[in-house]
Structure 1
Amino acid sequence: MSVTRLVTSGTFALDGGTWEVDNNVWLVGSDEEVVIVDAAHDAAAILSAVAGRRVAAIVCTHAHNDHINAAAEVAAATSAPILLHPADQVLWEMQYGPEVPYLPLKDGQVIDAGEVALTVLHTPGHAPGAVCLYAPELGVVFTGDTLFQGGPGATGRSHSSFETIIESIEDRLLTLPPETVVHTGHGDSTTIGAEAPHLAEWLARGH
């Protein structure tokens, strides 16, 4: 069982603004098979990191363009399905329109990634269809832009809600074992135990 991080760079665009960003692309699985979490920016780099293994699925933690803009190209190259929570349809269509298909994710679904099982946790707030992927055997959770080192993901743009993201983090993530490693969509990893004590600060800070 393995987890590999690839950092890719590009732009995030929403609400008329554009920002330069570095994204974490996670490859989870075995020597034979992997799941790609968030195919961001650079299809060639992602395919190089796959290194000939079978891609079981391309899972999108949410449909902001910087997390999905290489998904269609990677899917075409690997014949792997793209998985996304359908509540993010409006964001998906900003990047791809209705032409690029995906399979709908649902809360509680289990995705097999080689020797690793990923459980889908629907965690709306940063985006309506945001999900986290919990791998209890590895003691890790892939949080996309829901939870970072230092607090919740941004909720200042369209289709987001601070109250909703706090509820998602409190109910779905802070209930995980404190030693659970949090692999994020941008930046460094953290743990549930390191972030949990700061919930009151986040609430006071608000958005």
Structure 2
Amino acid sequence: MSDARVEHLTTSGVFALDGGSWDVDNNVWIVGDDDEVVVIDAPHDSAAIIEAVGDREILAVLCTHGHNDHVNAAVELGDAMAAPVLLHPDDRVLWDMTHPDREPDGELSDGETFEVAGTELTVIHTPGHAPGAVCLYAPQLGVLFSGDTLFEGGPGATGKSYSDFPTIVESIRKRLMSLPPETVVNTGHGPSTTIGAEDANVPEKG
């Protein structure tokens, strides 16, 4: 029996890469119960995330990828709440642009599971938007946390360094579209959607 629930927070800041910068709003997803949670992505404002978590224990900060607008508050959050910050190793090149003097506390690997409040989150490696991009699937909750891999409207952006459109399309088609169509997709930016709703928005090949 799981008492886990999904809570949503939005923080605002700047995404910077390849010499450009853009104002962005980022989704933060908090999964857990009244005692313990995991935080999925820690952008821009650690104080806002700490306030949302309250006196609950953060078991881990799970980074969907290493772009600065998803990890720039992760170290501060992890240190303040004694929580490990975890990232797929293929995204260290991006992480190091934001945190050159601090390694993540651990690695996320494809197929790894995390238990929080009686529910499981499974790591799905979905490269394309970034080499180490991952999604987190909670089948008991019927929810996928997609980071910037899949949005309402289709695949995430691939116009910047370390991204590749054919790769993201393959990741979505092979790893995500096999999930139940009613699965809710909680994204890194903007509104949530479902796997079924996005099927028509993802090409068969990149």
Give the TM-score normalised by structure 1. Answer: 0.96
Aligned-pair CA distance for 1:30: 1.1
Which one of 52, 57, 60 corresponds to residue 57 of structure 1?
A: 60
SS at structure 2 position matched to 1:92: helix
Which one of 134, 155, 178 corresponds to residue 152 of structure 1?
A: 155
Note if 1:189 corresponds to 2:182. Answer: no
Which one of 76, 86, 108 corresponds to residue 73 of structure 1?
A: 76
Note if 1:105 corresponds to 2:108. Answer: yes
- Counting aligned pairs with the same residue, the percent is 62
Aligned-pair CA distance for 1:112: 1.4
Which one of 123, 137, 140 corresponds to residue 137 of structure 1?
A: 140
SS at structure 2 position matched to 1:26: strand
Structure 1 counterpart of 2:97, one-letter code: M
Q: Equivalent residues in 2 for 1:1-207 (5 A)?
A: 1-200=4-203
- Please give the alpha-carbon distance, in whole angstroms, between the structure 2 residues aligned to 1:123 and 1:117: 18
Instruction: Summarize deviations over 1:43-96 as a string: whole Å, max 9, x none.
Output: 000000001100000000000000000000101111100010000011010000
User: 1:28 touches 1:116 (CA, 8 Å); kept in 2?
Assistant: no
Structure 1 range deviating more: 97-106 or 117-126:
97-106
- Please give the alpha-carbon distance, in whole angstroms, between the structure 1 residues aligned to 2:64 and 2:104: 16
Q: What is the root-mean-square deviation of aligned Cα atoms in Å? A: 1.1
Structure 1 range deviating more: 91-100 or 33-42:
91-100
- Please give the alpha-carbon distance, in whole angstroms, between the structure 2 residues aligned to 1:98 and 1:176: 38
**Taking structure 1 as reference, are residues 178 and 69 closer, same or farther at Cα in structure 2, changes over 3 Å only?**
same
Structure 2 counterpart of 1:83, one-letter code: L
- Please give the alpha-carbon distance, in whole angstroms, between the structure 2 residues aligned to 1:138 and 1:167: 25
**Residues paired across the two proteins, number:** 203
- Please give the alpha-carbon distance, in whole angstroms, between the structure 1 residues aligned to 2:17 and 2:32: 32
Gaps of 5+ in 2: none
Structure 1 counterpart of 2:65, one-letter code: H
Aligned-pair CA distance for 1:102: 2.3
Structure 1 counterpart of 2:69, one-letter code: D
Aligned-pair CA distance for 1:113: 1.9
- Please give the alpha-carbon distance, in whole angstroms, between the structure 1 residues aligned to 2:104 and 2:164: 27
- Please give the alpha-carbon distance, in whole angstroms, between the structure 2 residues aligned to 1:23 and 1:101: 20
Instruction: Summarize deviations over 1:167-207 as a string: whole Å, max 9, x none.
Output: 0000011000000000000000000000012323x85xx6x
User: 2:88 touches 2:107 (CA, 8 Å); kept in 1?
Assistant: yes
Aligned-pair CA distance for 1:116: 1.9
Gaps of 5+ in 1: none
SS at structure 1 position matched to 2:173: helix
Structure 1 counterpart of 2:31, one-letter code: V
